[in-house]
Amino acid sequence: MDFWMIAGIVSAVILFAGVAVVKVMIPRQVVKELEKYQNALVSRQFEEIRNSYREMRGWRHDYKNHMQVLKIYIENRQWEDARAYIVQMNQDLSEVDHVIKTGNVMADAIVNSKVSMAKARKIDLDVTAKIPETLPVSDVEFCVLFGNLMDNAIEACDKIAEEKDRFIRVYIGMFKQQFYLSITNATNQKKRMRKYYSLKGAGHGLGLYRIDKIIKERSGYLKRTDEPGVFATEIMLPFL
């Protein structure tokens, strides 16, 4: 089994286990909604990781065939055909191989699954991710933070008709000795938003609620900024 597949499965199991902690802190009805929401999040995480895994395995499966074609071209001195074939192979591989190594094994599975999802939707991505081995939040909390922000960004881009206008910019790293996460995305909103919770359907309000709750519990900083056509979220978390 592929390393990223294993890491993704472990992260999903950890995420599911996190529901038990939530039960102690909030009313029963909200717990049920959170369980339903987090179950859906886990299922989506599994599917995203599986899709990336299938793509990479498919390319590896075809590798021998690619080499055989190139061998024939070279033996027949068909240099231009060989060159064109290599260019096409490189293009195909670049579309499949979008593995980002952040420095944190568990975070890698989460980040790469979302990056794969965004690329599949023809969204222009710019990702800088240098994550320390130890985070100021649990793996469950990181999945909630990054997963929800990316899902919302991807959904916003999906509503934009022109592919050239879709973009997501991600920066994850350290800033002033604190963990820093920033996601900026294109949106079709023409006016500034007054409320963020009411704009989404079922589940999205819970995602934003969980983000706000984590930031508050970790004594962190959260800033949402919206301008016509652009939405951004910044998060800073201290190492307590």
pLDDT of residue 153: 94
pLDDT of residue 82: 87
Where are the chain's structural domains? Answer: 3-59+98-237, 62-95
pLDDT of residue 156: 93
pLDDT of residue 52: 57
Beta strands in the chain (DSSP E): 124-129, 167-175, 178-186, 221-227, 230-237
Mean pLDDT by 10 residues, the chain (240 residues): 47 47 54 63 58 58 76 88 83 60 73 82 90 84 87 93 94 92 92 54 65 92 92 93
pTM over cut 0.85: no
Tell me the β-bridge partners of 90.
none
Residue 215 token pair: 């930031």
Domain 3-59+98-237 has CATH 3.30.200.20: no
Residues near 56 by beta carbon (within 8 Å), at least 6 away in sequence: 2, 96, 97
Strands 178-186, 230-237: parallel, antiparallel or unpaired by DSSP? antiparallel
Phi first, then psi, for residue 236 (nearest 5°) are -130, 130
- Residue pair 15/140 in contact by the 8 Å Cβ criterion: yes
Residue 20 token pair: 């038990």
